[in-house]
Every structure is written in C-alpha cells, then in structure tokens.
Amino acid sequence: MPGFPYVFVDRLPRRCFCPRCQLPMKDAVLIENCGHRFCDVCLQEFLSAGVFKCPEDDKSLDYATIYPDRKLQSEIMNSVIRCTHFKEGCRWVDKLQKLQSHLGSCRYDSTPCPNKCSARLSRLSLLDHIEFSCPKARVKCEFCCQEFPREYLEMQHVGECPHEVVWCENKCGAKLERRFLGNHSKNECHKRTVACQYCSREFVQETLQTHQYQCPRYPVTCPNRCEPTKIPREDIDVHVQEICPTSMVACSFKGAGCKHKCARFSLDKHLEDSMKQHLSLMCSLVSTQQEQIENLCSALYSITQVTDGTFIWKITDYKQKLIESMYKNGVEITSEPFYTARYGYKMAASVFLNGNGNGEGKYLSVYIKLILGEYDNILEWPFLLPISFTIFDQCADPDKRANYSESFEPDPTWKHFRKPTPDADSLGFGYPKFISHEVLKTRNYIKDDTLILKVKVDTSKCASS
C-alpha cells in the first residue's frame, strides 16, 4: 500500500511526502546517492518495470544504496492524526502509531456480525443489528415462545405457528388458535360450506335447513299415501300422474268415448271387463275419423290444384309411353285435374303421343276437357275462355329456344263447352294434328326423355273466376 491516507492534525513538512503517491510516506526509504526519499512500495513498483534510476533525477541507482529512513519514519509515526472514522463521529486524536490499537476498540470501526450473517457494521450499530435485523439472530415467537433464527421466523414460522390466534377464514366472527382452525372450519363454523345429502349441491351450513324446504331431491310422502317409501320432491308429479297405484285415472279409451274413472291398480280389470264396449266405441271413432280424413283430403286436393289459369304438365318416360301408344291404338294419357282459379272451372288436359283420329301415327294430339267441379253452379256457361297449348323448347340457351304453341276460342254452340253433368263423360276439344313427330325431333322439345306441355286459360275476361 502507498503512503498513509489519514488526516493529520498538523501539516507535515514537505520532506515527509512521497513524490510518487503524494501521501505521507509509509516505510520510508532513502536513496544514498541522491538523497531522495520514497515509500518503499512506491519505489519498488517503479523499479519493477526494469528502470534502475531515481524517479526524481534519473540518476542510476543500485539496491545496495537504498536504506530505510528510520528517523523520518519515526517522525511520521509520532505525528498526531484523527481517527479514520472521524466523519462518522469518532473524536479520537493521537499519534499515528496508536491508530491500530484504537481501531480495535473504536465504536465506529466495522466488525463482522458474531452470528456469522455476512454483515459488517460498526460496533456502535452492532447491538441494534443483532436485536432488530440480523437474520441469524435467535428470536422468540410471541405465540409459542420457541426460539428460531429471525429469517426462519419471518419467512416460514410466522403465518404457520399453530399457537397464533387468527380469525376464521369463513368470516363467521370466531377467533381461535391456528391449530384448532381445521376442526372449527370442518365441524363447527356456521359459515362453512356443506353438501346437501339429497341433491349434493353445496350451501352455507346455516342456510341448509332452509334449502331442504325447496330441495328437489328431498324425500316426501306421496299425497295419496300409496306406500311408506318416500319419493324425491321433483318426482312427485310424475309419480302421481304415471306410477301411483291409488291415483284416480281415466280409462285409456277416453278418447273413444269411455267416461269410466278408477284407481290405477283397478284399471286393468276395467279394461278386461269392458272389451266389447271399447271395441264398439273404437269402431265408431274410426268411422268418424275416416269421414273426416276424406273431407280433409278432398279440401287439400282442391286447394293444391288451384292455378292462375296456367297448368304445366311434365310427361316423363316419353319413349316408353310412345311405344305403348304405337302397339295399343287410342291410348290416352290424362293429366291431374286443375282449377282455373280458386272458385273457377275444373278441367284436365290429355294427349295421344301417337296421335288420334286423322293425326294417328304421325302427330302428337292434345285436348282439354271440362270436368264436374265444385263451383259450376256459380260460373257462366257455356265455357268461353280462350285456351292455348304450348310445348316448351328445352334448349340450354334461353335465347335459342323456340316454343311451339296453338290457341283457340271456344264455340258456344259446341257441346264440349256446356256445363258438365254427373251422368255424362266429358268430351275433349283440341288438336288431333297438334305437332308432328318429325318436328318434335328437330329441336329440344323432348329432353331427358321428358316432354313439358303448358295449358294456358285466359281468365282476364271472366269476373266469376
């Protein structure tokens, strides 16, 4: 270490200062040749670089000419200095040679903690450190009175001491030692959570009894007192309505007209004793329902067959039906009937795929025939509305389609357009030579073995329709 870095009471003479470190010399040495003085450590550091010259005047030197300057060293060691801790408050002032002895007892000098906690602190604060902050110091738990190192007490024991008095975690207001808390929370606390033994839902213990008045699985007695076994509250209605043998029930043939009521356990006997009566009731019910079904079907059919005067008829399996017409002369295919309006005329279309009359064998013949309808008595007769037939060209490009159509206006003198009668077959009117088989092949009138025919009735001039 270079010179002494202490605070001297009186300023030392210049000769006492080392030219190298500018501090009062420590272990002063004298170079005999030139008379310059240095700290022993400072001179050795200079010479260790391999330069054997005086640092002050560059004169050559030899180790044999370097001697300790005991007189100067004695003068420095007997100089008065202040304690190294004078800034902390130490007022000691004495000779430099007595400093180490003083530091051995100086209250402001640092010393290691006797508890081996790695801290170094002044003797003045050592007692406070041991009493209040040393992690290795032994301290006593205020609850169980056992001693532990402070760091263990603060990090682990505090908050776990079984003798510490704590509040119940359920906030029931109880205050007890931690060792009794588990039993209290499990068996004594009125704020503890418990499961209902019937529905398994969890409730605060003090509200459990109130819950049992509403618990859906709480066992209750059947209101008919059918048996001693109790039934879950939520199953009572099903039990009474479907299971309870003493409940009053209506006969299972109630819908057929049987008005008998009895206890459920005697219902089988009633059914066995009243088989003939029930059979008679069921036959009557079936007859009534059959009539209702027929009326509904008729009404539904009427509704579904109402049109706005346009009827589209899709004739499938064209080739097969044409072959059948060729081998069986006069085979007529008739469409489903349709109405021209909600309260309009009822009619049906028919075709002869191989022709009819003078069109047989070379043409497709189409006809329209009037059929007996529900509203004939309020319609105007004879039938005078214009009718047109159209066969659709089914070409994929709409701009290239060329539908084939014919139309006519009914002649009022013809019997075909008079009011239909129940005892006479309807006569059809149309075109025996509507379109030739050759023309049918020229375009897409028949596609995917299907021909589509439209019948259009112009109802714009008929107010009744």
Domain map of the chain by residue range?
Answer: 14-103, 305-457
Q: Token pair for residue 419?
A: 């009011």
Please give the Cα distance from 149 to 147 (Å, whole number). Answer: 7
Given the candidates 3.20.20.70, 3.40.50.150, 3.30.70.2740, 3.30.40.10, the CATH classification of the domain at 14-103 is 3.30.40.10
CB neighbour class for 98 (10 Å; exposed up to 12, middle 13-18, buried from 19): middle
Give 305-457's CATH code, choosing from 3.10.150.10, 2.60.210.10, 3.40.50.2300, 3.40.190.10. Answer: 2.60.210.10
Closest CA to 88 of 128, 133, 123: 123
Taking the C-alpha atoms of residue 151 and residue 148, their distance in angstroms, rounded to an integer, is: 8
> 3-class SS at 120?
strand
Residues 311 and 335 sit within 8 Å (Cβ to Cβ) = yes
Q: What is the pLDDT along the chain (465 residues), one digit of tens a residue?
A: 688 888 999 899 998 999 989 999 999 999 888 888 999 999 888 888 887 888 888 888 888 888 899 999 999 899 999 988 888 888 889 998 988 888 888 877 767 777 767 666 666 666 677 667 787 777 888 788 888 887 777 777 877 888 888 888 888 888 888 888 888 888 888 888 888 888 888 888 888 888 888 888 888 888 888 877 788 888 888 888 888 888 888 888 888 889 899 888 888 888 888 898 989 888 998 898 898 888 887 667 666 667 788 999 999 999 999 999 998 877 899 999 999 988 899 999 999 999 998 999 999 999 999 999 889 999 999 999 999 999 999 999 999 999 999 999 999 998 889 999 887 666 689 999 999 999 999 999 999 999 999 999 998 866 444
For residue 355, give the amino acid letter. Answer: G
The tally of CA atoms less than 13 A away on the side-chain side of residue 61 is 26
Number of Cβ atoms within 10 Å of the Cβ of 156:
11
Question: In this structure, is the dihedral angle defined by the CA atoms of residues 289, 295, 301 and 307, taken in order, positive or negative?
Answer: negative
Region of 6 on the Ramachandran plot (φ > 0 left; ψ -120 to 50 alpha; else beta): beta
318 neighbors 296 (Cβ within 8 angstroms): no
What type of residue is 231?
I
Taking the C-alpha atoms of residue 289 and residue 71, their distance in angstroms, rounded to an integer, is 145
- The SS3 assignment for 176 reads strand
Handedness of CA 277, 281, 286, 288 (dihedral sign): positive
Q: What is the pTM of this model?
A: 0.42
Number of H helices, E strands in the chain: 12, 27
Residue closest to 351 by CA, chosen among 424, 452, 224, 268: 452
What local confidence, expressed as pLDDT, does residue 315 receive? 96
d(CA 162, CA 180): 8
Tally of residues, the chain? 465
Question: How many Cβ atoms from other residues are within 10 Å of residue 344's Cβ?
Answer: 22
